[in-house]
Every structure is written in C-alpha cells, then in structure tokens.
Structure 1
Amino acid sequence: MNLFLALGYKEWMKTRRILGISALAFCMMLAYTFVEISHAIRLEEAVNVWYAYIFQLASVAPLWKWLPSLVGLLVALSQFVPEMTNKRLKLTLHLPVSETVILVDMLLYGLGSLLLLFFLAGGVLACGAGYFLPAEVVSLMLWQILPWTVSGLVVYGFTVWVCMEPQWKQRILNTFVALSGLSVFFLSDTPRGYMYFGWGMAGILLLSFLFPLYSCVRFKDGVQ
C-alpha cells in the first residue's frame, strides 16, 4: 500500500468518530436554522424578517459562529493528542520520508476533511436559506459566516501547533499567540465586515499551518 494512503487511513481511523459527530452537529444546526427562519416568517411576515436581516443585521445562522471553531479544535485533538501521549509520533517521524512531508500529509488530511465538511454544510445552508430568503439576504449571510468558517481552519492549525510543541512553557506561549490570532475572526459580526481583510485572514491561516512545522522540528530534535 502507498505510504501516504496508509497515513491517510491511519488519520481516518483516529478522526472518523469526531467527523461523524461533527457532521451530525452541522445537520442539527441546519435543521434548527431552517425551522427558526420558517417560524419567524410565519409569525412576523416575510417582509419584516427580511428587513431585520438586511437593515438590522440580524444573523441568519447564529449557531454557525462557534461550530466550525469547535469542530476544528476537536479534529486536531483527535489527530495529534494520541500521537503525543502514546509517543506514536516518534515512530511516525522515523518513516523513510522527511518529517516535514509526513506532517504536511497529516495536516492536509485534516484540512481537507474540514473543508469538505464546511463546504457541504455551507452549500446546504445557502440552498435552504435561499428557499425562504431573497438572494441579497443569502449573500449577506455568506459574507457573515466566511470569517467564522475560516476560523475553524485556523483553530485546527493552531491546535496542532500547540499539541506538537514538546516544551510546556512554549505551549503556553503558543496558546496565547493562537488565541490572539483567532480573536481577529470574531471582532465583528457585520456582514461584509471582512470584505477588505481577505489578505489578513489568508495570512493568519497560512501562519497557523506553518507554525506546526517549526514545532515538529523542535520535537524531532528532542527539545525538552
């Protein structure tokens, strides 16, 4: 079996339960959102509901705000906590492939899993909301959940960084840095509030996936 397929299968075995629970959580969140929209329209009429979304900046899917971050955290923990606590990562990094390549492969698995989950849930949310709401409201909703969605990927990368770090003092510092970077994605709930900060979000996301590589080198070098 191809080495990278074997690594992917190993990651799947560690994360399949968390991914299943996460998918169920998104399904429940979507069902709640659609029921809430339908209920609001029946009680207050569609025009008033649309007005609240467009002019009062009410959130169409408020539960989406924290769910991607929680899922990113849980997926990272399910992947890397067993590696660190059971000392399995040392064996993995001694495979006949560069440790950087191995870690990148593990990160790509987690990133791909999260992107697939977020993309499918976001697509269902957009289509379902489009049944009740005009295109302008759906567009505002997508702009609003964009930074929340990216935050899930950032949480994943930063959590891996903290887990991979072999020194506890450095882990604490890493946690403070991670929380500072993550807070940027929750400064504003205004739709299109991050329209001109795409480069900033991309930069933080990139750093969240580069920092684990540094901790991996420190781990391989035996830093205590």
Structure 2
Amino acid sequence: MQHIFRAVFFKEYVKTRVCMAGLTAASLVYMAWIWLTVHRLFLLDHPEIVWYRVMDLGQMPYAALTALPVACACIFCCFQFLPEMQDERLRISLHLPCGMAPLLLAHLFFGLAFLTLLFLLDGFLLVLTLGRHFPKEAVHTALLTAAPWFLAGLYAYLCTTYAILEPHRRAKLMGVLLGIGLAAPLLGKTEPGSLAPALPWLTLPLPFLLMGLLLPTLNFRHRRLP
C-alpha cells in the first residue's frame, strides 16, 4: 500500500502544484490584509481601548478569516477531482488491482494533508498578527475561535468531493446539503472561543465522512457509460 500512496501523492502533486501555490499565495495576501486591519485599529485608538473591545466586548478583528478555509477547500477539491472526472480517468484508475479503497484514501489524504498544512500556516500567521498587539490570553482565544473555521474547511473538502464523485444528481444535492449542515454551525456567529469545549465532538463525523466517500466512488465506478 505504501507504493500506492507514494504514486498517488506524486501524481496529485504534479496535477495540483499550481493550485497549491496559488492558494498559498492567496492565503498569505489575505492574512496580510487581516494584519493591516488589526494594525489599523491601534493607529486609530489607544491600545487599552482596543484590548477592551476585543477581550471584554468580544469583537473579532480577524473575523474575515471565517470564510477563507471553506473557500480554499472547495477550490482545491475542484482542482483535484474535476480533472479526474474528465474522460473517465478516475474510473479507469479504480479498476487497478490495488483496490478501490486504498486508491481513494490516497487521494483524500493528499488533499487533507495539504489543507491541514495550509490551515496551520494561517493559524501561525494569526498568532504572529495578534501576538504583536495583544496578550497571550487573547491570542489563545483567537486560535480556539478559528479552530472550528478550519474544521469547517475540512468538512467542505470532503462534502465537495462527495458531490463531485457521486454520479446521481439527488445524491449530489445531498452531499451539498450535508456540507452546509456540517459547516454552517461552525461558521455561525458565536462568542469568541465558545465552541472550544465541543471541538472533540465536532470532529467525530470526520472519519465516518471519510469512509462514507467510498459509496459515491463505488457508484461512479459501476455506473453505465452514456
């Protein structure tokens, strides 16, 4: 199985390297904009006032980060799997003797690995942005606040993959609705850090959703050609 993962990872890297570079660059620009937004707050008001607004009133000058993980996940998923659907490339690959499950998991692990690294970069830049102006407590709260947003990005990736792989329209719609249902509560307006205690429970659907992707892949493999 190791050689399967190695071959798929290399193939996916060659196919998506431009997309990965673009998303990384876009994330850096986006985080730079958030840094400018935070820095501007301290140019307009005294630090004590900004701290009071953020730490006591619950204002989030980094709230623009909310949509970034989901957007990156959906874009990367389309770049990764839409080319595989053209000319039945993925369907041909699924008939290789290595087995359907290892082949699919190799593709998914590659995508999840890249997105995890990208989200870690965003989190690191968020720490650098806030650590320069705020005490450690505020930085820690910001990370706990942003963690569900990153988790929503992973759910968006898996559900978008489901919608792309599934050949039946109703099932595609179900994948989209499932993604909205999983991501929406994580992206909703809440008190900073309020979802932190529930994070272990919020991650529980991940492995089930990961294995559930075998169903649309099986449907795609055995569907009749038009």
User: For 1:2-151, what aligned pairs fall within 5 Å after superposition?
Assistant: 2-151=3-152
Contact 1:167-1:223 within 8 A present in 2 as well: no
- Per the alignment, residue 221 of structure 1 pairs with 222
Range with greater deviation from structure 2 (22-31 or 149-158): 22-31
- Counterpart residue type for residue 85 of structure 1: Q
CA distance in 2, matches of 1:189, 1:20: 32
Shift of residue 126 of structure 1? Answer: 0.5
For structure 1, the residue ranges without an aligned partner over 5 or more in a row are none
Aligned-residue offset at 1:207: 3.4
Answer yes or no: is the 8 Å Cα contact 2:163–2:175 preserved in 1.
Answer: yes
Q: What's the secondary structure of 2:191's corresponding residue?
A: coil
Q: Percent identical across equivalent pairs? A: 24
Q: Which amino acid aligns with 2:138?
A: V
Say whether residues 1:179 and 2:191 are aligned partners.
Answer: no
Structure-1-length-normalised TM-score: 0.93
* CA deviation map 1:126-180 (0-9, x unaligned): 1232011111111111111111011111100111111111112221222222211
Please report the TM-score for the alignment, with normalisation by the length of structure 2. Answer: 0.92
TM superposition shift of 1:97: 0.5
In 1, Cα distance between equivalents of 2:189 and 2:206? 18
How far is 1:31 from its partner?
A: 1.2
Partner SS state of residue 57, structure 2:
coil
Shift of 1:87: 0.9
Partner of 1:202: 203
Summarize the Cα distance change of 1:3–1:199 in structure 2 as closer, same or farther, 3 Å threshold: closer
In structure 2, the residue matched to 1:153 is 154
Partner Cα distance (2:99, 2:185) in 1: 34
After superposition, what is the alpha-carbon deviation per residue over 1:163-207, rounded to whole angstroms, capped at 9, x for unaligned?
Answer: 111112221222222211221212333212212322332123333
In 2: Cα distance, 1:118 partner to 1:90 partner: 31
For residues 119 and 34 of structure 2, the distance between their equivalents in structure 1, rounded to whole angstroms, comes to: 16
Q: Deviations over 1:52-77 (max 9, x none)?
A: 11112111312210000000001111
Is 1:167 the counterpart of 2:201 in the alignment? Answer: no
Spell out structure 1 runs of 4+ moving beyond 4 A: none
Please tell me whether the aligned partners of residues 23 and 72 of structure 2 are also in contact (alpha carbons under 8 angstroms).
yes
Please report how far the alpha carbon of residue 108 of structure 1 lies from its aligned counterpart in structure 2 after TM superposition: 0.3
For 2:53 and 2:205, locate their aligned partners in 1 and report how far apart those are by CA, in whole Å. Answer: 32
Q: Which amino acid aligns with 1:182?
A: A
State how many pairs are aligned. 224
Cα 1:223–1:170 shift into 2, 3 Å: farther
Contact 2:142/2:193, CA 8 A, preserved across alignment: no
Q: Which runs of no fewer than 5 residues in structure 2 stay unpaired? A: none
Q: CA separation of 1:210/1:145 partners in 2, compared to 1, >3 Å: closer, same or farther?
A: same
What is the RMSD computed on CA atoms of the aligned residues? Answer: 1.8
User: Alpha-carbon deviation of 1:223?
Assistant: 6.5
